[in-house]
Chain A
C-alpha cells in the first residue's frame, strides 16, 4: 500500500467515526427506509437534541432505572399500506411490533398504549377488524392494552389508519444484552426465514402484477426469547428484531457498535424460494427486506447449539439457523461467504430498497 493510499484510507476512517451531521433540506422517503439516511436523521438530529444515557445506546427499547430494577420503554408507529395483507394486518403488527421490541431487549412486557389516527371516511367494519386484531394479538402475547388515544384526521391526510403503540416492561436483571457484550467467536442466530413480511407487503400492494403465496411473519417473539434465555443463560449477548432495514442493516449496526466484524454464510440463510424469487424479480435483496416475527441473537459459542435446539423446538422457530459468527476482522464490517464460493461485503441499506433496471 502506498503512503498516499494509506492517507486516503485514514481520512475516510476518521470521517466515519465522526458523529453524522444531518444536512438534508427536507425529509424525503429515504429517511424512513431504515438505512443510512434514517441513521443520519436519528444520530445527526434527534440524538444530539435529546441527549441522555437511556437513549444513547439506541437499542430497540430504552432501559430506565426504577428502584432496584430497570423499566424497558419502547414506542413504534405503524403506517403500512394495505391495512390488511396476507398473514396479518396493521392492528396485529402494531401490537406484535412493540411486544417484540420489549422482548428482544430482554424485558417482560407489562402493558401497552395504543393511539389510533383514523382518516375521515374509514369504514367502521375495517376499524372494528383492526381493533379486534389488536385485542387478539395482545391476548396472545399476554399483555394489556392499558391506555390509548383516538384522533380523526380529514380525508386525504392519512392512509385510512395509523397505529402508534408504546410498551413498558421489566428488564431481566440477569441479562446484559448489548453490542458491548459481544465477543469474537460468538455465533449469530436467526429464528427463521428472512424477508417474508416485506415481500408479502410488496406483492400485496399490487404495483407489480405478481402472484405469489407469501405471508407476513408477524408474531410475538416472547416465547422464542424465553427459550433463548433458558437455553443460553448468560451466553445470550445481544438480540434484535430485524424489522425495517432487514438483517443486513441490524448486523451492520452490531459491527459498527461492537467494533468487531460479522461473517455470514449465504448457504445458511433461511430464505423461502418464493421470497427469493419475488426479490429476484423485483431487483431487491432479501437481506434488506423487513421481518416482523424473527429475531437475531448473538450467543456465546458454547451455548449456541443448545440455543439453536431450543429455538427449533418452539412454534415460529422451526427454521432457526446459525447464520454467522462474530470475528476480529474485518473490523466494523459485515462480510458474507456466498453460495457461489466468493465473499461479498454487506453494506448498510442505502436509501429505499428501490428496484434496479440494470
Chain B
C-alpha cells in the first residue's frame, strides 16, 4: 500500500464512472460545485471531467484561499514586507498573488527580505534565530491551515517570543458557500464538500446546506478516486431524491471534526464582522482575526495597517462565473483588463481558475480532447 497509486487506479475509475453514467438522466443537466481549490487541482490534473457523462458539469468553487484574497490585503502585506526591520514569511503560492502594484516576488526583487516557508513554525524558528529582526508570518488559508497558525501563536506566547507577529488572512468556508446559496440566480444541484477543511471543522457545519437549502453535500478526499466516488454518492442522492450531508473522506474526516484544533482556534482567533473576497465582495463573518488575548502578536495592530481597499472594477463578474450564470468569456473584462499576467478576479489568479484555464486553452479547458488511451 503506497497510499497514492491505489487511489489513482484507472480500472476502478472506469467502473465508478460507469455507475455514475447509469444514474444520469439523459434529459437533465447536473451542475455540481467542488468548493475546494485542492479538488479543482485534482480534477484538472487527472482529467476527471472526461470520465463523466456530458450531462454532469463540475463548477469550480470559491475555495482557493490565495485566489480569493483581495488586492488590498496583498498591498498591506507588501507594505509590511517593505519595512527594513521585517523578515516577511509566507507560503510559496502566496508569492505570485497580485496586489494593485505587483506581487511579493517583485517586492522581493526590489530588496524586501521575503522568505518562503512550509509551516508557520518555520517562521517562528526564523524569529528565534533573528532576535534583532521583526518576523511577520502572512497567514492564509481556510480552517485547514488556521490551526497550525493558532498552535504557532500559542507556542510564541508560551516562549515569550516578542519579535514575531502574524498578518492574519484566514477565511472560513461556510459563509461564502452560504452567500452562493442565498443568491437567487444560483444554478447548482449539489456540492462536493472540502476534505481538509472538514478534518478540522467536521461535517456538521454543512448540515444547513441540505436542511435549509435542499442541496446535497458529500465531503470528499483529494485523490481522483475520492472525487469520483463523491460524485457517485451525489448522483445517488439526486437519483433517489435524498438530500443529506455524507462523508466520503471517512479515513481522515470525523463527523465532529478535530476538537483539539477547534479549541486552539477558539482561543487564538475571533470572527471578523466582515471580510472582502476578490471578485465576490464583502461577506459577513467570513474571516478570522487574532483574539484580544493575542493582540500583541497581531501584525495589523503592530504596524497599524490602514485597511486599504482596492475596489474590484465594476465590470469584474467572478461572482456570476462562480455561480455558473456566466461562462468566462462572457465576463466584460475577460482577456482585456483581466488576464493571467494581471488578474483582476479570483478565477484568473491560479492557472486552474476557470477563467485562467479558458484563457490558456479556450474551449479545450472544458471540452473533451480525444487523443486515445494508447499511443
Interface bracket on A: 35 or more
Residues of B close to A276: CB separation below 8 A: 4
11 CB contacts below 8 A, A to B, read A1-B363, A5-B327, A29-B109, A277-B2, A324-B375, A327-B371, A338-B47, A339-B8, A343-B371, A355-B116, A355-B118
Residues of B close to A146: CB separation below 8 A: none
Which of B26-34, B59-67, B79-87 is the interface stretch?
B59-67
The verdict on B145 contacting chain A, using a C-beta distance below 8 Å, is: yes
Residues of A close to B91: CB separation below 8 A: 355, 357
A347 touches B106 (CB 8 A): no
A265 touches B4 (CB 8 A): no
Query: Nearest chain A CB to B110's CB is how many angstroms away?
Result: 6
Known A-B contacts A4-B329, A340-B46; the reply to A345 vs B105 at CB < 8 A is no
Known A-B contacts A4-B330, A12-B362; the reply to A358 vs B141 at CB < 8 A is yes
The verdict on B37 contacting chain A, using a C-beta distance below 8 Å, is: yes
A-facing residues in B1-53 (Cβ within 8 Å)? 2, 4, 8, 10, 13-14, 17, 36-38, 41, 44-51
Pick from A25, A327, A345, A358: contact of B364, CB under 8 Å: A345
Pick from A5, A25, A340, A350: contact of B10, CB under 8 Å: A340
The interface size of chain B toward A, counting residues with CB under 8 Å, comes to 66
Known A-B contacts A4-B329, A29-B109, A342-B48; the reply to A333 vs B375 at CB < 8 A is no
The verdict on A225 contacting chain B, using a C-beta distance below 8 Å, is: no
Give bound CA distance, A333 to B360, whole Å. Answer: 10
Residues of A close to B108: CB separation below 8 A: 28-29
A345 touches B4 (CB 8 A): no
The verdict on B335 contacting chain A, using a C-beta distance below 8 Å, is: yes
A8 touches B65 (CB 8 A): no
B335 touches A8 (CB 8 A): yes
Residues of A close to B373: CB separation below 8 A: 265, 337, 341
B41 touches A345 (CB 8 A): no
Give bound CA distance, A277 to B5, whole Å. Answer: 10
Pick from A265, A338, A354: contact of B92, CB under 8 Å: A354
Give bound CA distance, A330 to B362, whole Å. Answer: 11
- Give per-residue flags for B87-102: 1 if the beta carbon is below 8 A from chain A beta carbons, else 0: 0000111111000001
Query: Nearest chain B CB to A28's CB is how many angstroms away?
Result: 4
Give bound CA distance, A344 to B118, whole Å. Answer: 28
Give bound CA distance, A324 to B374, whole Å. Answer: 9
A343 touches B369 (CB 8 A): yes
The verdict on B291 contacting chain A, using a C-beta distance below 8 Å, is: no
B-facing residues in A1-39 (Cβ within 8 Å)? 1, 4-5, 8-9, 11-12, 15, 24-30
The verdict on A322 contacting chain B, using a C-beta distance below 8 Å, is: yes
Pick from B8, B48, B224, B372: contact of A337, CB under 8 Å: B372
Query: Nearest chain A CB to B345's CB is how many angstroms away?
Result: 16
B375 touches A338 (CB 8 A): no
B371 touches A337 (CB 8 A): yes
Query: Nearest chain A CB to B87's CB is how many angstroms away?
Result: 15
Give bound CA distance, A279 to B108, whole Å. Answer: 25
Give bound CA distance, A1 to B95, whole Å. Answer: 37
Query: Nearest chain B CB to A345's CB is how many angstroms away?
Result: 5
Known A-B contacts A26-B110, A358-B36; the reply to A268 vs B118 at CB < 8 A is no
